[in-house]
Structure 1
Amino acid sequence: MTSGYKLYGAPLSLYTGKARSYLTFKNIPFEEVFSSRKVYKNIIEPKTGVRFIPVLETPEHDFVQDTAVMIDLLETRFPERSIIPDTPKQKLVSAILEMWGDEWLLLPAMHYRWNHDNFPFIYEEFGKIAFPRMPAFIRRIAGKKIGSMFKGFVPMLGITPKSIPAIEQWYEQEVLPSLDAHFALHDYLLGARPCVGDFGLMGPLYAHLYRDPASGRIMQKIAPNLVKWVERMNQENLPLGEWLADDEVPDTLLAILTRQFKEFWPVQLNSAKETQKWILNNPEQHELPRKIGDHVFSLGDVSESRAIQSFSQWKLQRVLDLYNGFKAEERAQVDSLLLQIGGLEAMQTTIKHRVAKENNKLVSEKGSQRNVK
C-alpha cells in the first residue's frame, strides 16, 4: 500500500509540520491538501468530528486526526525506515522528547508567534484559510479576525506578562544553545537517523519558531546548527543512517532532559491527577472536555496559572506504558539513565483511570486495569 494518502494541513500549522516531515522521511507518497474554510466545512469537520489539523486520509478513506496516531498507523504499514529505536534507553528518550515537543515547546511557539512582530505575515497566512485566492490585503483583514481566536489561547497556556521573561530566557538561553550544541555533533537527536523525538520537536521548531519571521531571525542568530537540522528534516530522499551504537544517549541531551523532569513533568503528572479526578467525579461522561480546570506551573523562578489539558494524560500514558513494558534487564538500563536525569520517581506514576482516543476524540477508558499497581 504505497499511494492514496492525503494530508490536510497548512504551512503555518504546528502539527502539520510534524506530519509532513514524517511522511517525507518515510518516502510515503502523499498529496498535501491546504485546509481552506471549504475543506474544513466539507471534509475535516464531517469526517473527523473535530476542527483540528492535520488530518490524514488513508487509501481506505479513513480519517486520522492526531499525529501520534498517524505515526503509529504508518509505522505498522511501512516498517522500512523505522523511526522507533530498538534499544530501551533510546526508545524511551525518543518518546519523552516527542511528548516535550508536542506539549511543552508550545510555550515558546505560541509566545513568539503572537507576542512578537510577525505581522502582517501571520495574518496573511491565516487569511489564506478563508480566502486562499484573494489579494494579500484582503487575506490580512480576514486573517486578523481568524488569528485573534488563536491568540486568545495564549494566556490559557500560561503565557502572560508575568511568565514571558522566563519563557524567553529558557528558550533563548537554554533550549536554542543546547540544541545547537547537540546538532553541531549529531545530525539528529540520537545519531545519524531521526527518531520519533525528532518529529515531535519538528512541529514547534519548524512551523512557528523557524518559519515565523521574528522567531526565525532569533533561531538563525543563536542556533545555526538547529536551523540546518530543521531544513534537513524537510528534505526528500534522505539517506538512512544509524542511531548511536550501544544504546547511547548523547551527553548533549542530558541538560534538556533534566530540566524537563524538573518543570515539564510536574505539569504532566498534575494534569493526569486532575483528569483522573474528573473521570471519577463524572462517571456518566464518556467524552472528556479539553479543559478541566487550571493549575500552577513553574518555569525558572516564575510561577503562573495555566489550563489543565485532559489530552496531556493521553500523551503521558504512552510514555509510561512504554516504560512499564520493558523487561527487567531493560528496566535496569533505563533506570540508571532516569536516576541520572532526575526522572526515576516520576516514571513510577500509576494511572488508574485511563483515557483513550475514539473517533478522534478523547474518552474515558472505562474499567481499564492497565498500569495499575
Structure 2
Amino acid sequence: MSDMFTLYGAPVSLYTGKARAYLTYKNIPFREVFSSVKVYKTIIEPKTGVRFIPVVETPEGEFIQDTVQIIDDLEKRFVKSSIYPALPKQQLVSEIFQLWGDEWLVIPAMHYRWNKDNFPFIYEEFGKVAAPNMPAFVRGFLGKKLASRFNGFVPILGITEKTIPAIEDWFENHVLSELNKHFSTHNYLLGGRPCAGDFGLFGPLYAHLYRDPAPGAIIREKAPYVVKWIERLRNAPKNVGNWVENDKIPETLMPLLTRIFKEFWPVLMQSVEKVQEWIVDNPTVDKIPRSIGFHDFSIGGITDKRAIMPFHQWKLQRVIDLYDGFDADEKAKVDTFLQTSFALQVGSLHMPKRLQRINNKLVVA
C-alpha cells in the first residue's frame, strides 16, 4: 500500500489553501487532485456525502473532510513539528486565531473576491472546475454561471452596502496593518514556528486575498511582511524555530485579539445561544441546517444583519474543550490573561446542547 495521501481541492478554494499549506509544512507525502465537476460526482460526493472541499484521502482509503478535522487527525499520525503549542495560553490563542481565520476572515475574503475587479480571472478559475479541458472562452462562460452560486453567499455573511466601508477599513487599516507589524518581528503568530492559528489565517489571506488580483495588489502594497509570511508558509519552511518562551503572547498580537473579542466573540456567543434555543424548539430534528435565521453583528462600529451559523458552535466547542482540559493551575493562568487583557471569561460559557459531525453532517450530540 502506498503511503501517499491525496488532497482533493482547487487553487481558488480558501480551505484547500489551508490544508495544502499544512500538508506541505508537515512534509506529509501527498498528491493533489483538482476537484472538477467529474471528481465531485465520482469521488467527493460518494465518499463524503457532501459537496465541500478540501477532502483528504488517507493511504488506507479513509476520506476526511473539513480542515480542522483533517489537521486534528493528521497531527495524531505525524507528531513531529506539531502545530499545537504545548503551553496553555499559546494553545488557546492559537485555536482562537484558527477559528477567527476560518470563520471571520471569510468576510473580507468573500467581499474582495466578489465585489472587486477580479474578473475574468475568477470566472476562468471556476471554469476550470466545470470544464477543465475546454477552451478558455467556454471555461469563462461556464465559470461565470458556477461562480454566481458562491456570489450569493455574500449578503448572508453580512457584506452589504452599509457594512462594506467598515469591512474595508477594518481589513486594510487594522487586520493588514497589525499583522504587518507583527510579522515584521516574528516569522509566525507565536514566534519562530507555525501554529494552528497561522494555518487558519493562511486560508483566506492566501487563496482569496493574495491570489485574487484586486486584493492581492492591496496586500503587496500595504503589507510586505504579510507577503513574506504567506510565501514562508507556501514553501515548506526549512529553518523553523521555536514558539515564544514562557507561554508569552507577543504584544503585537494584542490589538488583533482585542478586536476579535470585541466583534467576533459576541457573534459566537449569540450563535451558541440561538443554536441552543433552536435545538429545544426542534426536538425531533436531528440534522442541523447550515443557517438558522439572522442576528445583528457589528464591524467597525457599523451594525447590520448576518446569518446565524450553527457550525460556529461546533468550532467553538473545540476551544472550550481545550480550556476544560487544562488543570487548575493552567486555567488560572489563562483566566488571568483573558480577564486582565480583555475582561473576558471563557470558562463561564454555557453550552448544554452540543453538536457533533457524523458522516460530515452537523447533528445534535
Name the CA distance, whole Å, in 1 between partners of 2:253 and 2:339: 15
Equivalent residues of 1:261, 1:343 under 8 A apart: no
1:75 is matched with 75
SS in 1 for 2:61: coil
Name the CA distance, whole Å, in 2 between partners of 1:238 and 1:132: 34
2:348 is matched with 348
Instruction: Say if 2:161 is the partner of 1:161.
Output: yes
1:273 is matched with 273
Bigger mean CA deviation after superposition, 116-125 or 317-326: 317-326
Name the CA distance, whole Å, in 2 between partners of 1:278 and 1:343: 29
Post-superposition offset of 1:46: 0.8
* 1:97-129 CA-partner distances (Å, limit 9, x unpaired): 000000000110000000000000000000000
Name the CA distance, whole Å, in 2 between partners of 1:196 and 1:346: 19
1:337 is matched with 337
2:325 is matched with 325
Instruction: Say if 2:49 is the partner of 1:27.
Output: no
Aligned length: 365
2:170 is matched with 170
After TM superposition, list the pairs within 5 Å mapping 1:41-60 onto structure 2. Answer: 41-60=41-60
Post-superposition offset of 1:340: 3.3
Name the CA distance, whole Å, in 2 between partners of 1:213 and 1:266: 32
Name the CA distance, whole Å, in 1 between partners of 2:75 and 2:343: 28
SS in 2 for 1:352: coil
Name the CA distance, whole Å, in 1 between partners of 2:72 and 2:346: 25
After TM superposition, list the pairs within 5 Å mapping 1:82-121 onto structure 2. Answer: 82-121=82-121
The amino acid that maps onto 1:19 is: A
Name the CA distance, whole Å, in 2 between partners of 1:320 and 1:81: 24
Post-superposition offset of 1:346: 4.7
TM-score with structure 1 length normalisation?
0.96
Name the CA distance, whole Å, in 1 between partners of 2:262 and 2:99: 15
Q: Which runs of 4+ in 1 moved over 3 A?
A: none
Name the CA distance, whole Å, in 2 between partners of 1:343 and 1:65: 36
Name the CA distance, whole Å, in 1 between partners of 2:201 and 2:343: 20
Over the residues paired in the alignment, what is the CA RMSD in angstroms? 1.1
1:304 is matched with 304
Name the CA distance, whole Å, in 2 between partners of 1:25 and 1:2: 20
TM-score with structure 2 length normalisation?
0.98
The amino acid that maps onto 1:218 is: I
* 1:30-69 CA-partner distances (Å, limit 9, x unpaired): 0100000000000001111100000011111111111000
Q: Percent identity?
A: 60
Equivalent residues of 1:98, 1:196 under 8 A apart: yes
* 1:275-322 CA-partner distances (Å, limit 9, x unpaired): 111111111122111111110101122101011111000011111111
1:284 is matched with 284
Name the CA distance, whole Å, in 2 between partners of 1:349 and 1:236: 38
Post-superposition offset of 1:236: 2.7
1:152 is matched with 152
Equivalent residues of 2:320, 2:346 under 8 A apart: no
Unaligned ranges ≥5, structure 1: 366-373
Name the CA distance, whole Å, in 1 between partners of 2:146 and 2:290: 20
Post-superposition offset of 1:237: 5.3
SS in 1 for 2:170: helix
Structure 1 residues 248 and 347: alpha-carbon distance in aligned structure 2, compared to 1, 3 A threshold? same
SS in 2 for 1:297: strand
Name the CA distance, whole Å, in 1 between partners of 2:21 and 2:41: 26
Name the CA distance, whole Å, in 1 between partners of 2:75 and 2:300: 37
1:262 is matched with 262
Name the CA distance, whole Å, in 2 between partners of 1:343 and 1:102: 24
Name the CA distance, whole Å, in 2 between partners of 1:2 and 1:181: 44
Name the CA distance, whole Å, in 2 between partners of 1:251 and 1:236: 26
Equivalent residues of 2:13, 2:53 under 8 A apart: yes
1:38 is matched with 38
Equivalent residues of 2:127, 2:143 under 8 A apart: yes
* 1:139-186 CA-partner distances (Å, limit 9, x unpaired): 110000000010000000000000000000100110000000000000
